[in-house]
Amino acid sequence: MIDVQNITKRYGNLTAIDRVTFSVAKGEVLAFLGPNGAGKTTTMRILTCFMPATEGTAKVAGFDCADQPLEVKRRIGYLPETPPVYQEFTVSEYLTFVGRLRGMVGKNLSTALDQSIEKLALGSVRHRLIGNLSRGYRQRVGLAQAVLHDPPVLILDEPTVGLDPKQIIEIRDLIKSLAGSHSVILSTHILPEATAVCQRVVIISGGRIVAEDTPDQLSARLRHSEKISVTIKTPPDNCLTKLQSIAGILNVFQGQSAGTFLLECALGQDKRDEVARFVIANQWGLLELRTISMTLEDVFLQLTRHEEGMTPQVEQVSELPQATQETAS
């Protein structure tokens, strides 16, 4: 459905994205992950024909973004970073305007309008001025605008920004329900979101794709060992060395609380059984035992930090913690 080949975008001397290649199949949900300034928005703007790529080709539903922008635009629903709403319109007036811009008329338009209002639970604010709505509602109006004409391709730039936790879950469910019939690209720097709704994740940093896979496989790929967390009720003083003596355990670290220990063993081995037996045999009191899987956060940080030594975009990457804080506040 979406096919991007080697697109590069330069603003003067600054290379915003550098030979980015990826594709999205029909019905697939793809997450674009990356720190701020990584090139997510630029890529989306090229796909929506807002700006042309300096090099490379981008195709949506078989139409080239540079050659047949109108055909591409007809098949895309796009939610930019800032919801594109007109303050002096009421919700239904605004959506009617959007529908007319897309050439919808009459009954066609009114059913689509009702459907998108229902999908995004905007019924209660339907006749209110958008200027008087909260950030969360505006974001939802922006989303309603994107899904209004039921486009085969949806491009959503940080769709859950500004929503409260309940709304975030609703929007994620909506996106999940769109999967299958729609191809969706969404950008985010909230990692659990990518894990929650996407089949595939593209991690972009400094304008380059650094990884592309399913969330599970990404974390598996970057894991160097299996980790087990064990919590013991009455650990003896030499607990660390004793745990180390279990066959197959490579390393033991003290966990966050006094009785918690992290055990490392070779990749592909599950030593939970042995650990449990050992603790019980020693009568230390086994409270908890679980494997620790690598979260997407770890993968992300590892991948984007990995770049530091190799590429000149060190500063962009090292800004990451600060940047995430900004959006959180």
Which residues bind to other proteins, rule: CB under 8 A? 11, 45, 48-52, 70, 73-74, 76, 78, 80-82, 84-89, 93, 97-98, 100-103, 105, 145
CB of 82 to other proteins, least distance (A): 4
Minimum CB distance to other proteins smaller for 105 or for 247: 105
The Cα–Cα gap between 141 and 127 comes to 12
Contact assessment for residue 265 and residue 222, using Cβ atoms and an 8 Å cutoff? no
Region at 207 (left for phi over 0; alpha for psi -120 to 50; beta for the rest): left
Shortest Å distance, C-beta 5 to other proteins = 21
Query: Based on CB atoms, which residue is closest to other proteins, 160 or 219?
Result: 160
* Residue 91: count of CB within 10 angstroms of its CB: 27
Nearer to other proteins, 139 or 205 (CB): 139
CB of 57 to other proteins, least distance (A): 17
Q: Which of 101, 169 has the CB closer to other proteins?
A: 101
Cβ atoms of 46 and 1 closer than 8 Å: no
Q: In angstroms, rounded to a whole number, what is the distance separating the alpha carbons of residues 261 and 245?
A: 14
Identify any residues that bridge with 203 across adjacent strands, giving them in sequence order: 33, 211
Longest CA span, the chain: 78
User: How near is the Cβ of 142 to other proteins at its closest, in Å?
Assistant: 9
Do residues 204 and 34 make contact, with C-beta atoms less than 8 angstroms apart?
yes
Nearer to other proteins, 11 or 253 (CB): 11
Q: SS3 sequence, 42-70?
A: HHHHHHCCCCCCCEEEEEECCEECCCCHH
Give the residue with the Cβ less far from other proteins, 88 or 326. 88
| Residue given tokens 């770890």 in the structure block | 298
Q: Is 47 helix (H, G, I), strand (E, B) or coil?
A: helix
Nearer to other proteins by Cβ, of 148 and 197: the residue is 148
The least distance separating other proteins from the CB of residue 103, rounded to whole angstroms, comes to 6
Side-chain-facing half-sphere of 18: CA atoms under 13 Å: 15
- 8 A C-beta contact, residue 153 and residue 27: no
> Whose Cβ is closer to other proteins: residue 141's or residue 275's?
141
User: Between residues 138 and 208, which has the closer beta carbon with respect to other proteins?
Assistant: 138
- In which order are the strands placed within the sheet that holds 55-60? 14-24, 2-11, 55-60, 63-64
Tokens 């950030």, located at residue: 135
In the complex, minimum distance from the CB of residue 289 to other proteins, in angstroms, rounded to a whole number? 51
- Quote the DSSP letter at residue 241: H
Minimal distance, residue 11 CB to other proteins, in Å: 7
CA 111 to chain centre: 31
Apex 66 CA angle, 60 and 72, nearest 5: 35
Minimum Å gap between C-beta 51 and other proteins is: 5
- What is the closest distance, in whole angstroms, from the C-beta atom of residue 33 to other proteins in the complex? 22
